[in-house]
Chains A and B, each alone.
Chain A
Amino acid sequence: MNTHDPHPQLKAIERLAALLHDDGSPEVEQMSEEQLAVYLKANRVEMAQPRARFGSLLNKMRSRERLEKASQMRTQAVAKAKSILSRGEETLEATRERIQAMIGKLQERDPGRALVYAREFQKATPEDLKLLEEDLLLLDHEDDNSTKAD
């Protein structure tokens, strides 16, 4: 709420001026859109140019906001991409750990074979790891089945 002084200290001539220009219209907060327009028209306030300037300020703000949002979205997109990449690295690391565990398990049953897989593991590229893991899983599965058969 505005807190202007409703009774500023005026000289007598200023009080007369204020009084003569008081048309008894309601407080601004109580005025409807139509009343405001009528008030401005009645007092011959030229609004075309100020409205144009105001409209241009508003348009500039909207453009700036759009730019700010676009910039924010870019930043968010970069952050998201980084997060996906780091998650990819985590997955790779997890695959390595799983393979190492499976080679360790294989070594107990078949040290020769485990050695072959250990060598392949050492020179494996990230793309090779997936295949290596699948091979070891199949091998593990086969071994489990043969143990059960025995």
Chain B
Amino acid sequence: MMKLQLRDKVALSGAQSEAARIAMEKPSFLDKVTVQIMKLARQKGFYSPFEDDMDLPGGKSAADLAVDIVEKALDGSYTWNSEKEPDFYNFCVSRAESILSNWLSKNVKMKTTSPLASENPQTGEMVESEFGSVSDPTDPYSILRDKDGGSLGDKFIEDLSLGLANDSHEQSIMMAVLDDRVCANRAYCMRKLNMAGNDYDAAVKRIRRRLPEFQKEWFKATGITAEEWEEAK
């Protein structure tokens, strides 16, 4: 069994504390870290396609996570090596990145719901879990993402694409998402499909409108229930 060795926390002091304070006093420091977390979380597929809500798993907002990171950097829970990374803002963003990656890898492994400390895969240091639970078994997005290594999600997208008007912009977008591993952002997808911004945005709006209803129909038709998924786990 892995031994947990928690190091002593040493709060920032002296020049490091001053450098962090100066960074934090810059206008919009908190807004910047928060928006950066939201963008990172979006890029990593954290936000459900079925909801507009941009809270992180466990109901934590990006802003809450941003303040948590700053607090832990200041109290020494996270070690800021200012020689390696002199910019406190970049340090906070790198912590956010590793917390989100950590959460994702835990989610994939489906191993634990422990709020105890775990090892950061990048730095090797012990960090507390940011989220109380790793996956919501009743959430359609979690089911599509995790069941059969994601192949259920592929089937969902395929069925959705086939149900859309042939050769429509929205069908092209859905097929591109299914086939192209890089097609996960607006700029790339527009370029790939040679689509104008207005056309692209309108098609995405139509997909978003169609999704909630289709999701309900699809889960009903395939007979996958939250209980079955829970049992399968």
Contact = CB atoms under 8 A, between A and B. Distances in A.
B195 interface: no
Determine the main DSSP class of B at the interface with A. helix
A10 to B, nearest CB: 5
B184 A19 contact: yes
B42 A22 contact: yes
Determine the main DSSP class of A at the interface with B. helix
Contacts of B186: 19, 22-24
Given A19-B186, A20-B208, A33-B27, A11 B32 contact: no
Nearest to A37: B31
Given A17-B49, A58-B25, A68-B13, A11 B90 contact: no
A44 B61 CA distance: 10
By size class, the interface of chain B is: 35 or more
Interface in A1-55: 1-4, 6-24, 27-28, 31, 33, 36-37, 39-40, 43-47, 49-51, 53-54
Interface string A52-79: 0110011001101100100000000000
B184 to A, nearest CB: 4
Given A11-B150, A16-B177, A36-B32, A1 B44 contact: no
B47 A33 contact: no
Given A45-B61, A65-B18, A13 B144 contact: yes
A108 B204 CA distance: 112
Interface core residue of A9, A14, A27, A58 (most chain B CB under 10 Å): A14
Nearest to B62: A45
B111 to A, nearest CB: 19
Interface in B38-97: 38-40, 42-49, 54, 61-64, 66-67, 70-71, 74, 90, 93-94, 97
Contact of B54 (A18, A19, A45, A68): A45
Nearest to A62: B21
A10 B181 contact: yes
Contacts of B150: 11-14
B70 A47 contact: no
Contacts of A45: 34, 38, 54, 61-63
Interface of B: 13-14, 17-18, 20-21, 24-25, 27-28, 30-32, 34-36, 38-40, 42-49, 54, 61-64, 66-67, 70-71, 74, 90, 93-94, 97, 141, 144-145, 150, 153-154, 156-157, 173-174, 177-178, 181-187, 189, 197, 201, 204, 207-208, 211
